[in-house]
Amino acid sequence: LVNIFSHLIGSALFFTLPIPVYYSLQPRYGSATTADIIVFSTFFFGVAFCFALSATFHIFNNHSESVHVFGNQLDYLGIVILMWGSTIPCVYYGFYCSANLQTAYYTLVSVLAAGCVYATLHPAFRRPKYRPYRAAMYAGLGLSFIIPIIHGVAKFGWETQMWRMSLDWMALMATFNLVGGGMYALRIPEKWYPYRFDVWGASHQIMHCLVICAGVAHLFGLLRSFDHVHGQKNVCGR
């Protein structure tokens, strides 16, 4: 039940947050464009849709084996959409003055995400022999978030990208995700205290809550990136 409501609440939060965010940001800078709305919308959609699919999976998890398998596919599909939707705005602000690099990274992450969607939903890819290929696709999608950060720092410098990509907020976001994933993988704390966390406080529930915290941290980072690129004159030196 906690697994259901933790992500139902998270989904509702990120489906409704765009309204106050839009009315807060829209009049702030005359330089803001439709592109800003699109990248923020991509982020909100990715997070909200991921949480909604996760909640759906947990609701119908025990219905039947076939429904469990399909729900598990939807759960992974949500993760793919979350990763894609989180990367797009980072690329937009990180390479704000480099349209060609934006396009290159948009294409890269979208192609990798499409491959992951196919691998997630196609029945043949559920076979054990395709497990390495699935892992490689998900690893590639994860790297598509890291590589632009490294490239941006190498090209524009740490200080510039600290503001354009809000690297400290991205680090906090990654920390939340890694801690949550690590606790779930290691089954902490229930492996230390069997049966004590069967209802409340299990690692899966903690992971859900930390993933929501990661989404909030990512949002704060995007808001600061938005303020940086629109809050100064000649941000691109022209």
Q: Answer yes or no: is 236 within a domain.
A: no
CA distance 68 to 118: 19
Q: Are 105 and 144 in contact (CB under 8 A)?
A: yes
In whole angstroms, give the CA distance from residue 184 to residue 206. 8
235 domain-assigned = no
For the segment 169-205, what is each residue's pLDDT rounded down to a tens digit? 999 999 999 898 889 888 888 889 887 877 788 888 9
pTM over 0.85: yes
Q: Is residue 156 part of a domain?
A: yes
Q: Are 9 and 211 in contact (CB under 8 A)?
A: no
User: 146: pLDDT confidence band, cut at 50, 70 and 90?
Assistant: very high
> Whole domain around residue 222: which residue ranges?
2-230
In a domain, residue 59? The reply is yes
Domain assignment of residue 237, yes or no: no
Domain-located, residue 181: yes
> Does the pLDDT value for residue 238 go beyond 80?
no
Annotated binding site for Zn(2+): 58, 204, 208
Q: What is the pLDDT of residues 195-209, one digit of tens each?
A: 787 778 888 899 889
Mean pLDDT (the chain) is 90
Tell me whether residue 163 is in a domain.
yes
pLDDT tens-digit map of 1-42: 677 888 899 999 999 999 999 998 877 888 889 999 999 999
Whole-number Å distance between alpha carbons of 89 and 173: 14
In the chain, the number of structural domains is 1
pLDDT at 234: 75
Tell me, what's the pLDDT at 188? 87
- 56 domain-assigned: yes
Do residues 113 and 79 touch, judged by C-beta distance below 8 A?
no
Task: Report pLDDT for 19.
Answer: 94
Domain containing residue 120: CATH number: 1.20.1070
Q: Is 195 left (phi over 0), alpha (psi -120 to 50) or beta?
A: left
pLDDT digit string (tens) for 56-108? Answer: 998 988 888 888 889 889 988 999 999 999 999 999 999 999 999 999 999 99
Q: Summarize the annotated binding site as residue ranges.
A: 58, 204, 208
